[in-house]
Structure formats: structure tokens, C-alpha cells
């Protein structure tokens, strides 16, 4: 009997792509066979943690706590039993001598495969396909460089710890605080969910309790330009300056050439932020569109937290830049500096999100408007990240009148650099820019000791409250939570959640009625505020959750112990239940 390798992908569409590349053409119910391979698939998660009552009937009552399994149980999800049955039969078939894990090359993809493998009772050797794009050449190269599944055991342990920590904290804390609240509605608690909700509730509280203040400036009109004083807290002082201000003499002129560095390439979070700011996409929308582009072989792996390419990708980057300028309407006038975006130390599981060379030959006219916008923004980012710096000259004129200084500032662009590419992109997509660094403000010819008759005006300014979170700013807050507790610029994962999970956290908060989406704003509800104020500070702590996320990253790299982590989580649960 001919022996086959069983390839298990995460989705049917990805399985079909892989099957085509490796020559498996014969379709069957739930798998594709040929050329020595059987290719099948999961449908996302097929196996999940079992509910508390599967351990003991007493856990049907929510006041029986803590629930800390000594041996963890798993069950096949009801909607996926058929496909699981197919995979189990294939895994244990005498036709199959080894299994290739081809789920998404990341922590959750590893978990999806391992849970199915374990639940099916499979003992056959595992090989791992690890690719950053679904291009034919990338898949061929990946199959030519399969790794032993043993090399990813630490990644699996990290995923397992994440899943079990979320279960332990979520199940125990939710039940405890719901019962403590008199069972007056479920108080849903999550290891990442609750600190994220706390960020929103605290921001909304700051806005609600904000007390408006005022400050004043004196503006002098010098004819061809205007200058402004420093701030005055008292209006009478500003009025006194205004009343004595008739002429102003140039005291000092300084000129300084400044530069703005090109942006880094996109990881998932930074792309979600820009897509929200420019186009109003939710984080989940961006991830869904990006996944489609990935499966269409137009962009690389989406769930990455890296913003660099590896140092062997210089030629690849140049080829893709050439493909972008050929396929799209971008024009670049300078030689791309690809070395700037290459840094092995800055790449974790996957490199940054970039287009694939397929954009040169693919029919892009079939993309919907949102997919086109996202593809263009990813293309533009590779061009801007490798373009020259933006250079401009700032002229600062200081004038004096009645002992008070006034300042006028001018800006002249010397070299548009990467911002010229940004302008092209914004023009193509009608996206929204977030800065004014690409605008000029040219002052007239001014020399020292020149004196101007002026028309002074007192301008009243109101202090403004913090802004409600948008998905852009909330993703930034989630990403940077706990940053002060880590070495600056370290490449370890930190913050609340991961790039792959943050969108789902936001959607979960909305689904549970804890947060409302109003336009681009995310605003907490009374229900959400009640949850936050019902739990102790330790459950709201972004710092603690960021530390856990960092430790999970260390487990994946065999630099931390999974058993010690879970022991810490179990102790944490006991602390919660004594609150």
C-alpha cells in the first residue's frame, strides 16, 4: 500500500491552494488526494475546552468554586463533528504514515492542529509547514523545508497556557462576581477583556468629570504675517499686554532644517489603526479583509507583530516594489532603501505585512472597494518605508513688544521624500491624513531689528477633555499597556492581547453590551462601568495582563516554564475568589 502524508490546513480554501501546488487533485468528501498526499482541513477550532459540568455535576451551580482541573478535558464542537470525524479517520488510517501541520503559522494555528491531533488519538510523526504567504513558490519552498513538529512544542505550550489561563480566569471570576452581585445579570470577566474595558471606562469617566478651563494668548497682526504670545492664565494680563502693544520689533530669527523619518512597515495592529483612522474600518473588518487578501495570495501572513523584513529579503522587497509601480499608479523618484526595513532581531514568527509579487499579474479589478483600499495602503507603506526622509526648514521669528515676546513660525519643504508617496496614496483612496507636516507656511522676507505696526487681539482658548477612544487609539493603548515595565525597544510581545486577538476583544465587549460603537468612538455603557467597578483592581490591571502576555511569549521561546506559569494563574484565581 502506498503511504501518504496527511496535510491539515486551517481552512478549506487554504487546503485547496496547498493541494493545487503539491499536485493533489482527486476530490473526496472532506479531503483532496494525489501525488502521495492527502490534504484536509479544520474549520477554525474543531476542539475546545470542555465546560465545568463535564468535570463534576456540582459545577452546574455557579457558587461551587474554585474550578481548577487537575486533568483537562476537551470536546469536539457540535458544528464541526463531521469534519473532525474525517480528520480522525485519516489520521489513524494505515494509508497515512505522517502528518503535516499546515494550519496558520502562529500560536493559535498551532493550538488548533494540536487539539485535533490529540483528541483523535494520533501518534504519527508531525512535520510543520511554516510559510508567510500562500504564493505557489512560498508553498513549494515550505514543503521543501518542512520542520519537525517537535520544534514547535514550546509554541504549542504557550498556546495551551493562554487558552487555559483565559478559561480559569474567565470561568471562575465570571461566576464568582455574578453570584456576589446577587445573580443580577452575568458579570462577564476576561483576562484581557476586563483590563481593556477598564481602559474605556476610565477614559469615559475622565471625560465626564472634566472641568473646563480657559487660557489666553495675544495675537498680533503684522500685516503679512501673524505672531502669538505665550499663554496667560488670567485674561486681565493678556488684556494689559494687548492695550500696550502698538509696534513689535524683530528680536531673533532662527532657521532649522528638520527631518521626519519614514514609517516602519505594517504589523497587524498598526495596519488596523491606520485603516480605522483613514477609512473608518473596524479592527475586525480590517482583519477579515486582510485574511481574504492573504488567501488570494496578494499579501503576506496577516497576524504578525513584526514591522521588519528579514535580512535575506532585500531582493524580494525590490521585486515587490517593482511589481507595485508596474501594477498600480504609484510613482517613485528615488532608489528604494530596502536595508532600512530589514532587521532579523525585529522579526518574530513572521515578517511585516507586505504585498506579494502576485499583484503584478493578478486581476485587481475584481476586488471590492474596501479590499482595494487595504491593498493600496499596504503597497503604499512598503514604498514609503523605503523612501527618503521628509525634509523641511522651519523659520522661527521672535518679536518683542512692551516686554512681551511673540512668535511666528514658517515651514518650507525641502524634500517631500516619503510624504510624496503618501500624497499619491491619499489621492487614490481619498484617505484621511493625520498631520500637517506636508503643508507649507511661507513667511515674508524678515530681517532682525525690523519693526512692524501691529493690530493686537486677545484670543480665548478652552481646555479640552480627553477624547473618547476610537479603535485606532484603543488598539494603541492595548498595544502599549505595560510598556513602562519593559526595556525600551525590546521585541518581546507585551500589552493587552496580541495583534491576532485584539479585534475579537473589542467585538466581544460590544456584543456583551459593555461598549457601544458610535461612529468611530467606542463608549462604555452603564453595564460596562458596572462590571469594572464590581471587580478588584487586580482584575483591571493592564500591567499584570501585559506581564502574562510577555511570559507566554517567553514560554514559546523556551525561556520560561509553562508549569510555573499555570501554577501562578491557579494562585491568582484563588486570590480573586478571596476578594
pLDDT tens readout for residues 357-397: 999 999 999 999 999 999 999 999 999 999 999 999 999 99
CATH number of the domain to which 411 belongs: 2.70.20.10
Number of domain units in the chain:
4
Residues 184 and 227 in one domain: no
Residue 150 lies in a domain: no
Checking if the pLDDT of 217 tops 60, the result is yes
Residues 15 and 128 in one domain: yes
Mapped onto helix, strand or coil, the DSSP state of residue 6 is strand
Mean predicted confidence (pLDDT) in 540-558: 89
Question: Do 67 and 26 contact (CB within 8 A), yes or no?
Answer: no
Q: What is the DSSP letter of 266?
A: B
Name the domain boundary from 462, 486, 512: 462
Mean predicted confidence (pLDDT) in 431-442: 68
In angstroms, the CA 277 to CA 433 distance is 8
Residue 152 lies in a domain: no
In angstroms, the CA 462 to CA 564 distance is 53
Checking if the pLDDT of 487 tops 50, the result is no
Name the domain boundary from 385, 404, 423: 385
User: What b/e readout covers 151-181, taking b as 16+ CB neighbours within 10 angstroms?
Assistant: ebebbbbbbbbbbbbbbbbbbbbbbbbbeee
CATH number of the domain to which 281 belongs: 1.10.290.10
pLDDT in tens, 260-311: 999 999 999 999 999 999 999 999 999 999 999 999 999 999 999 999 999 9
In angstroms, the CA 184 to CA 178 distance is 7
Residues 474 and 536 in one domain: yes
Residues 53 and 180 in one domain: no
Nearest to 209, CA basis, from 522, 516, 466: 466
Residues 131 and 224 in one domain: no
Residues 451 and 395 in one domain: yes
| Terminal Cα-to-Cα distance of the chain (whole angstroms) | 62
DSSP states along 98-109: EEEEES-SSHHH
pLDDT in tens, 489-511: 444 556 888 898 999 999 999 99
Which three cell numbers, joined as nine digits, stand for 577? 475568589
CATH number of the domain to which 571 belongs: 1.10.460.10
Residues 108 and 180 in one domain: no
Residues 450 and 486 in one domain: no
Checking if the pLDDT of 433 tops 80, the result is no
Residue 155 lies in a domain: no
Question: Do 410 and 441 contact (CB within 8 A), yes or no?
Answer: yes
Nearest to 402, CA basis, from 219, 225, 248, 253: 248
Residues in the chain: 579
Residues 241 and 295 in one domain: no
DSSP states along 295-326: HTTSB--SS----SB-TT-HHHHHHHHHHHHH
Residues 447 and 496 in one domain: no
Report pLDDT for 424: 87
Report pLDDT for 490: 44
Q: Where are the beta strands (DSSP E) in 143-246?
A: 147-148, 214-221, 226-229
Residue 536 lies in a domain: yes
In this prediction, what percent of the chain has a pLDDT beyond 70?
96
Q: Is 301 a catalytic residue?
A: yes
pLDDT in tens, 275-289: 999 999 999 999 999
Residue 154 lies in a domain: no
Residue 37 lies in a domain: yes
Name the domain boundary from 357, 385, 413: 385
Which three cell numbers, joined as nine digits, stand for 576? 480573586
Residue 151 lies in a domain: no
Residue 153 lies in a domain: no
**Could you list the residue range(s) of the whole structural domain that residue 378 is in?**
268-385
pLDDT in tens, 64-111: 999 999 999 999 999 899 999 999 999 999 999 999 999 999 899 999
Which one from 301, 392, 452, 469 is the annotated catalytic residue?
301
Residues 133 and 282 in one domain: no
Residues 530 and 402 in one domain: no
Amino acid at each position: 500500500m502506498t503511504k501518504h502524508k496527511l496535510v491539515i490546513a486551517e481552512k478549506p480554501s487554504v487546503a485547496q491552494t496547498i493541494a493545487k501546488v503539491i499536485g493533489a487533485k482527486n476530490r473526496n468528501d472532506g479531503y483532496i488526494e494525489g501525488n502521495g498526499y492527502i490534504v484536509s482541513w479544520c474549520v477554525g477550532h474543531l476542539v475546545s475546552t470542555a465546560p465545568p459540568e463535564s468535570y463534576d455535576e456540582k459545577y452546574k451551580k455557579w457558587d461551587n468554586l474554585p474550578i481548577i482541573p487537575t486533568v483537562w478535558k476537551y470536546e469536539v464542537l457540535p458544528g464541526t463533528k463531521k469534519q473532525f470525524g474525517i480528520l480522525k479517520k485519516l489520521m489513524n488510517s494505515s494509508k497515512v504514515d505522517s502528518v503535516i501541520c499546515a494550519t496558520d503559522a502562529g500560536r493559535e494555528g498551532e493550538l488548533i492542529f494540536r487539539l485535533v491531533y490529540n483528541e483523535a488519538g494520533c501518534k504519527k510523526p508531525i512535520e510543520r509547514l511554516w510559510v508567510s504567504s500562500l504564493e505557489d513558490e512560498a508553498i513549494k519552498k515550505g514543503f521543501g523545508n518542512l520542520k519537525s513538529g517537535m520544534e514547535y512544542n514550546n509554541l504549542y505550550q504557550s498556546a495551551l497556557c493562554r487558552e487555559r489561563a483565559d478559561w480559569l480566569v474567565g470561568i471562575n471570576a465570571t461566576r464568582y462576581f455574578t453570584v456576589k452581585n446577587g445573580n443580577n445579570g452575568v458579570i462577564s470577566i476576561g483576562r484581557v477583556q476586563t483590563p481593556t474595558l477598564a481602559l474605556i471606562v476610565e477614559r469615559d469617566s475622565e471625560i465626564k468629570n472634566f472641568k473646563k478651563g480657559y487660557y489666553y494668548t495675544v495675537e498680533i497682526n503684522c500685516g503679512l504675517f501673524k505672531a502669538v504670545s505665550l499663554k496667560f492664565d488670567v485674561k486681565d494680563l493678556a488684556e494689559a499686554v494687548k492695550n500696550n502693544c502698538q509696534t513689535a520689533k524683530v528680536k531673533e530669527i532662527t532657521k532649522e532644517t528638520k527631518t521626519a523619518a519614514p514609517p516602519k512597515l505594517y504589523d497587524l495592529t498598526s495596519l488596523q489603526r491606520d485603516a480605522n483612522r483613514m477609512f473608518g474600518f473596524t479592527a475586525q473588518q480590517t482583519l477579515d479583509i486582510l485574511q481574504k487578501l492573504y488567501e488570494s495570495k496578494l499579501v503576506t501572513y496577516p497576524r504578525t507583530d513584526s514591522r521588519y523584513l528579514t535580512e535575506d529579503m532585500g531582493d524580494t522587497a525590490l521585486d515587490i516594489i517593482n511589481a507595485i509601480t508596474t501594477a498600480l499608479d504609484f510613482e517613485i523618484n528615488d532608489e528604494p532603501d530596502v536595508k532600512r526595513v530589514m532587521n532579523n532581531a525585529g522579526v518574530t514568527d513572521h515578517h511585516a505585512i507586505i504585498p506579494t509579487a502576485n499583484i503584478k499579474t493578478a486581476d485587481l479589478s475584481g476586488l471590492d472597494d474596501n479590499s482595494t483600499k487595504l491593498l493600496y495602503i499596504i503597497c503604499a507603506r512598503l514604498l514609503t518605508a523605503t523612501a527618503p526622509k521628509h525634509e523641511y526648514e522651519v523659520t522661527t521669528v521672535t518679536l518683542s513688544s512692551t516686554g512681551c515676546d511673540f512668535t511666528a513660525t514658517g515651514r518650507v519643504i525641502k524634500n517631500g521624500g516619503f510624504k510624496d508617496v503618501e500624497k499619491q496614496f491619499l489621492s487614490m483612496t481619498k484617505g484621511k491624513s493625520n498631520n500637517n507636516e506636508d503643508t507649507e507656511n511661507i513667511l515674508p522676507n524678515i530681517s532682525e531689528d525690523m519693526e512692524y505696526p501691529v493690530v493686537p487681539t486677545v484670543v480665548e482658548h478652552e481646555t479640552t477633555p480627553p477624547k473618547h477612544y476610537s479603535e485606532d487609539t484603543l488598539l494603541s493603548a492595548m498595544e502599549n499597556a505595560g510598556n513602562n515595565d519593559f526595556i525600551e525597544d525590546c521585541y518581546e510581545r507585551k500589552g493587552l492581547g496580541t495583534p491576532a486577538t485584539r479585534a475579537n476583544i473589542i467585538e466581544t465587549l460590544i456584543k456583551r453590551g459593555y461598549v457601544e460603537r458610535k461612529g468611530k468612538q467606542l463608549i462604555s455603557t452603564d453595564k460596562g462601568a458596572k462590571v469594572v467597578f464590581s471587580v478588584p483592581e487586580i482584575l483591571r490591571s493592564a500591567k499584570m495582563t501585559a506581564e502574562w502576555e510577555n511570559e507566554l511569549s517567553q514560554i514559546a521561546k523556551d525561556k520560561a516554564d509553562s508549569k510555573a506559569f499555570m501554577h501562578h494563574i491557579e494562585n491568582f484565581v484563588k486570590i480573586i475568589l478571596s476578594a
